Amino acid sequence: MVKRAVFPGSFDPITLGHIDIIMRALPLFDEIIIAIGVNTAKQYMWTLDERKQRIEAAFEGVKAISVKTYEGLTADFCQKENAQFIVRGLRNTTDFTYEQTIAQANDKVNGIDSVFLVCSPEYAYISSSIVRDIARNGGDFSSLVP
């Protein structure tokens, strides 16, 4: 059986922290689907097409990675894609507390297991919201994104 994982997020934008988690998860799975969630109630800084293009460019030539978009529950998307796992990156204990509850619900309701990877220390301070804040204020965020 193919071990397929989904790495979900809004990726507004994708950061070096995301890249770190994905590259470190790659040896664990046969395939990783980077899944860009679409929430119509959320206002994004970059368009869906821009986010998808940036992610595809970052992983160009990596055959085990695909990029898809979805609406609705991540666990439903996993089932549709025959993915048995969700990969999540953790920067700190706050991330763990938040992700643990979701992981337990996904397992109980949909039988989708979650795999947590602790981010590398050099990326622990990076978040998409920090990058957006820097961008909004005209700062140079190029060292935080691929």
Instruction: Provide the annotated active-site residues.
Output: 18, 42, 91, 128
Residue pair 59/65 in contact (Cβ under 8 Å)? The answer is yes
Token pair of 45 as six digits: 């800084």
